[in-house]
Amino acid sequence: MDAEQAARKLLIEGKSIRAVQRATGLTYYRVRQLSALPRFQVVTKHNARRVFGYTDIHWSDRDEHALAIAQHAQGIFAPDVTVLGGDLLNCTAFSRHPKRKLDHDEGYDYLESELKPANRFLDEVQRWTRDETVLLEGNHDEWFERWIRNTEGAMGLQSLLPSRYLCQRDAFRYVSFSPGRDKRQCNYQLAPFLVATHGWCAPKYAAQHHLDRAKDISIIFHHTHRFDDRAVPLFRGGPIRATSAGCLCKRIPMYAHNGSPTDWTHGFWVAFVGRQSFTVYPVLIANGSAVLPDGTEVRA
Ligand SMILES: [Fe+2]
């Protein structure tokens, strides 16, 4: 940082012209010139919350390379809060997916191939998170609970519910997918003007659909596995923004019978949340790497 940059920084921080002159060695006249340039009010200085977001992983159908890049990025970013956007698990055997393949369940072990490794993954995620880790439940994560409720004699397996098994940890929050009878909170409020959710719908142009429903609040959504980002002004205030960064599962899912390509993208998101505003960066993973907002390039 040269002397003039240092002077601008000190002036923005509210230092007097004399103090800046002494600190930088510039002339009084030059510092006064610099002080006349437009100043920006610093609402939060160094204390915007740093948030890292994992997109849909679908554990048994995860893309290991993309997930490894996201994990490296999380470690470098060192977030205060980490949000897992839902569908951490795939819960294949409990799906009622109309496209489910006949050989889907062969060799599938829910506990050993999904729940236990996902639990260890959460340990790692928490190791690189300063404050809180938030797991948004996705529709896939909820399938096991639906299966238990609808299968005779299965109620004894409740200890294997993701909402129980994965939650034996501190500084952790599990956000349900369905409101249920106890009116559970289904979204995570990052700030009064910003929520993160698994996803309210999955049509093409889902960002606009989420904005239509959000009305006057910005939203980070998942579920669609597609990159999508849209901001619109409000008549008073705003703009509001809806952002989706893609997914971390295979881009051709296991239920695709003919291997037809999808429009899914690999990515994760980071956000800086201040007291009055925020910036979200959906980060695409392309050609085996991703570039963070500070310019750091991450490879697996
Ligand atoms: Fe998903």
pLDDT in tens, 228-273: 999 999 887 779 999 999 999 999 877 666 777 889 999 999 999 9
- Which residues 6+ apart lie within 8 Å of 127 measured at CB? none
| Dihedral angle, C-alpha 92, 98, 102, 106, nearest 10 ° | 0
Asked if the model's pLDDT at residue 103 lies above 60, the reply is no
Task: Say yes or no to pLDDT of 279 above 90.
Answer: yes
Give strand pairing partners of 195: 189, 219
Residue 180 is predicted with a pLDDT of 64
pLDDT of residue 101: 53
Q: What is the pLDDT of residue 238?
A: 79
**Ligand 1 centroid, distance to 126 Cα (angstroms):** 22
Ligand 1 center from residue 236 Cα (angstroms): 34
Question: Which CATH code is given to the segment(s) 49-299?
Answer: 3.60.21.10
Distance (Å) from CA 233 to ligand 1 centroid: 29
Per residue, the 3-state secondary structure of 36-77, as one string, reads: CCCCCCCCCCCCCEEEEEECECCHHHECHHHHHHHHHHHHHH
For residue 292, pLDDT beyond 70: yes
pLDDT digits (tens, 9 = 90+) for 165-221: 999 999 999 998 877 655 556 799 999 999 999 999 999 999 999 999 988 999 999
What is the average pLDDT score of the chain? 88
Q: pTM to 2 decimals?
A: 0.83
Tell me the helices (H) and strands (E) count for the chain, helix number first. Answer: 8, 13
- Whole-number Å distance, alpha carbon 218 to ligand 1 midpoint, is 21
Q: pLDDT, tens digit, for every residue of 92-102?
A: 778 766 555 54
- Whether the per-residue pLDDT at 22 is higher than 70: the answer is yes
Instruction: List residues, by chain if needed, whose CB lies under 5 Å from ion ligand 1.
Output: 56, 87
Candidate from 40-54, 101-115, 273-287 with smallest mean pLDDT = 101-115
Give the mean pLDDT of 120-149.
Answer: 91
CA of 16 to the centre of ligand 1 (A): 54
**CA 258 – CA 132 distance, rounded (Å):** 41
CA 294 to ligand 1 center in whole angstroms: 28
Percent of the chain having pLDDT more than 90? Answer: 62
CA of 85 to the centre of ligand 1 (A): 9
Rounded to the nearest angstrom, the distance between the alpha carbon of 135 and the centre of ligand 1 is: 14
> What is the C-alpha to C-alpha distance for residues 284 and 276, in angstroms, rounded to an integer?
26
Separation of CA 248 and ligand 1 centre (Å): 9
State how far the alpha carbon of 299 is from the alpha carbons of 60, 251, 285, in Å. Answer: 22, 19, 9
At 129 the pLDDT is: 95
Sheet holding 278-284, edge to edge: 172-175, 132-136, 81-84, 49-54, 267-273, 278-284
| Distance of CA 197 from the midpoint of ligand 1 (Å) | 12
The rounded Å distance from CA 140 to ligand 1 centre is 7
Structural domain boundaries in the chain: 3-35, 49-299
Q: How far is the CA of 88 from the centre of ligand 1 (A)?
A: 8
How is the chain split among helix, strand and coil, in percent rounded to 5?
30, 20, 45
Could you tell me the pLDDT band of residue 299, with boundaries at 50, 70 and 90? very high
**Cα separation of 245 and 293, whole Å?**
14
